[in-house]
Structure 1
Amino acid sequence: MTNPAISDYMYRLMVEAVTDYAIYMLDPDGIVRSWNAGARLAKGYEAHEIVGRSFAEFYSDKERARSIPELNLQYARDHGRFADEGWRLRKDGTQFWAHVVIDAIYDECGSLLGFTKITRDMTAQRETELQLAHQAGHDALTGLFNRSKFLEHLEEEAPQLFYGAQLAVHYIDLDRFKPVNDSFGHAVGDQVLRTIGQRLKAVVPPRSIVARLGGDEFAVLQFGSPSVDEATELSNRITETLREPISVRNAIVVVGASVGVAHAPTHGCEAAELLRNADLALYAAKQNGRGRHEIFDDSMNAQALSRGVMELKLRQALKLHDFEVHYQPVVDARTLDVVGYEALLRWQDQTGKPISPAHFIPLAEELGLMPELGAWVLRTACRDACAWPNDLVVAVNVSAMQLRDRSFIEVVKATLVATRLPAHRLELEVTETAVLSDPSLANEILSELRALGVGIALDDFGTGFSSLRMVKELPLTRIKIDRSFVSGINDTKRSTSVIRSVITLCEAYGLSTTAEGVETAEQLMELQRQNCDHLQGFLLGRPQPDAHWRAARTERGTVGIAPVSRSATGTQAA
């Protein structure tokens, strides 16, 4: 046997032995001329049963009636290759999902010899993809649509409103669900949520969409061009059915629900607008006694940023982690190299309007939400910092509530373990006010955290009455000079004297210094003359998302340099 003959023989044996793919030859008329082991496994035919017969056997009667097999061969003949996915038939009549490729084969003269056909059984992969797609759009606990799928349906339907269609959005919040979890445990709570979902599906009209938006919040998208009165009737049925007692295991619970309704096009035509208006109506229902529904009206917009609405939105945002962390660079005063970033919390409400931290942070403190919100910021900041160069530090602010809770120590430990951020790359910033809420406990907590290797910075130094005592008693590693002194550099010598005194104090205690609020070149140069260690302020970089600073570091080098001219400040490159 010649070498080419041996090669052809070995190649044929290799193809015939393949089991993952059905590989076989067709003549120009689509008659099967060869059959490998993979084809036998995929389709169930032995070679002697199928060789010499048309490959159209693998298509359904409907496909053969439409000449699909012949059209596929013609496409391969015209374009060189045909590829597709679809159902194919086995010998026993069962179907499998196949990825099919048909290649036209020509000889040296350009004459068609036939086709190679490769088929792979993709049934398992398709089932996995369908399962993942279902999971992506459904709530795992109740089996209802989730928030993203609900919004998708709402956005798909919204264009029909311009052609005379109507719909209603019912935003539902359970009134007494938290006591169920607290009293009976999460297993009972989960069953209650499943029952709520079943009751909602039973009471809504056909084609309506029922979704669990998260936590104890549900929504119904009412189709069928309902009028405002019909939407009101459905909300009444919803509140009535959810007011009925629920028997779970050995417990009988009554949760009840409040419902906010937005009707389209009466109350808007955009998906986000409708959901927002239904949310405002829900808040009104809760304010007016719970266990009832309210229809949106324009007067509710005037109260959108009131304390009550902000509370509702803040709780919702916290459930969904609907916040962002921006980062402001901290630079070396001598070289202007970036040495780290301070993590700063940012939030936009559902209208897209930014809410000042000065407004929502105190409210979060008042509502007892700061431990959870602060833990989220800490996790996010540490996770982001892990992708930074190894010499950059991330500073995270700590609230008064966190400093009154010893479990904060475990939160920090768990975060460092989960994100794998070295402890020395994390700095926690505390204010005098936060420490003074319980100085003894705060000292204990900060001491344990410092023992881990975490840095401790005292923020807004010099604005309170106990700052000097705190320098002596707390396990600090850094003092942050308040911006009020930095801004006064251009106006009075007193501010410069205070800054010099603080820096001298820190040098005596072995503490680093950071000056906040640096906004002018004159302030920068004066702080350099005073031997301040680090600087922070708009002159050196405004707070920006992590992606912004990643791009900036890529442009300027591994660590990056603050976006301020060295020559303008008189700073020489190191």
Structure 2
Amino acid sequence: MKELKRTADLRLIGGSILVAIVFVTLTTSILSTAVDHWIRHDARIETTVLAQTLQERLPQLEALIGGSFPSGPDAAALQLIQSLGRASHATLATPEGEPVLILTDGQVLAASGQEGRIQAGAAGAPYTRVETVKENGAASVVAVTAMILQDHGRPVGMLETRIDETALADSFHQDLLIASIILASVLGLAFAIGYSWLTAAVRSRNASEERAEFLASHDGLTGLLNRGAFQVKLDAALARMSPNEAIALHHLDIDRFKRINDDLGEEGADKLIRLAALRLRDQVRPCDILARLGGDELVIAQCGIAHPAQAKAFAHRLAERLSEPYALEGREIRISVSIGCSLAPHHARQAQDLVVKAGMALQFIKATGQRGFGIFRETMQEELLGRRDLEGLVRSALRKGLFSLQFQPIMSLPHGRICGFEALLRLTSEAGTPVSPELFIPVAEELGLLPETGEWVLNKACETAAGWPDGISVAVNLSPSQFAAGGLPRQVQAALTASGLAPERLELEITEGILLKDTDAILQQLTELKALGVTIVMDDFGTGYSSLSYLWRFPFDKLKIDRSFMEAYSHSGETIQQILKAIVALGRALKMQVTIEGIETVFHARAVKDLAIDNLQGYLFGKPMADVEIPNAMLKDFMKTMNAPADAAPAARMQTPAGQKTGAG
């Protein structure tokens, strides 16, 4: 296309030069013709004047032409008349054109008979011819004019004049040359302006066409390939792919982009996408294919890989590069991305199918809250449909009364009796099928339903516990989203007031992860909660983060050791024992009660019996149950169990895992 346009431009330039040559040639020809015309015109006028003068001054002119040589006065008159004009030479001839008298250089001479006949124009009109005479190396322009002399329409003779028109010709040439130069300049300027305009128009058109061609295959915001061009190039790459290589298609988008767009505005979000696209350009190889599908969705075809692990490593590099801070609007912006991947030829051999499956993998990992990176698998569609059904169930659970609470006993080791219960949220489908907390609680968190659900759990737990004997507490888990929503102290106060439950019988459990963000605001709410008289428990202690750094900033009432320690006890009992001793000692030093979860078997109970732990929780003392199932004396045989023979411990072990807790209770 560019070659065609270049050829067209060359043709335009060549045509312009040809037009200029033709113009110069025509101008020269017109100039020469114009000069000849004016010379003839001047010579005819001069000859006509001379003829009129002769006829007026010499009544006997016809006789002189008839053959009588002029007398002295007539000759003098002829000489005078000839000298008054510009003709350097004049010949009088008979009507037939035979020369009779010659007037030259002030003399009147008789014709010698050697002169040629004079020929006038048709119908008596003057006839002029222009001759160029060279004499002594100089050229002169001579106009020779012949005309018939008439007396009342009757021919009486002929007159031929020779007039030197060199000066006039030079003057005409000069004037016409100046006029031609001016005209040529004007025309040249007009042509230059026209040519410049035409050239600019052509270039503008070419630029517009090139821009249109570019936009037809590229994204206007980032300059990357668009969807159509990407699929064409990907199909070509798939066709070239050798049997021992693969292509990984990475479909990525920015997490929580709508929130970012609302925060930065449309212009700021566009800048962010452009910057992200530039970073991706730096990460791809010449053989890879990078494109923008729209919005915050970008795709990269990673060509020529030998193993899926290369795709995963590449995706991690992309995620790390894109997660580095961006300087926008005077702020530092951080983002994360999710990447779905499909592989050719394993998942598809056509570009369209490969894009669809990578998009499905992206949709799946975002819908399931996994984030990060995921490779397509055939079951994703079915799992995604199940996920959507679960989301619908969770959304309607409160409205339809599908949520319920179960309570797991907490045993006071020093007293050998139940001291409280932990409230655990449960969900049942409309068909009556239980749904695992591991499935529905993350969904509720992602849907933003935990603040509302958590408030329901709090109210329901307090209402239920208010009917228990005094001294039996209820523990409710609080989620990060409840703290983020704010208003927890008000909700707790309202629940206590509505149920009549004594504040000291309500335990609020939080995980150390809650304190990682906006710590001051969280600690402020915890301070207000403790002022209500409730018990604050740090749950899942020892699982990570930096629990110790918070123990001195906020006076927790209890520590709850995570169940993972007891799960690992059978493999690393001695090490676990030392860790548990240290945690208990820490709790004692900080005047906190210590509870340990995961006591599933008698073996577990005996292992911690001598650690001076305050409370135990696990399946050994009871599974989570509905409030109506809680017996009045369910632990009356607990001490007998603790004193069972050691060889009975292995047989009494139970491998059933404890029910998962939820931040919503």
TM-score per shorter chain, which class?
Answer: 0.3 to 0.5
TM-score (norm 2): 0.38
TM-score (norm 1): 0.44
Look at both structures and tell me which one has the larger radius of gyration over its CA atoms: 2
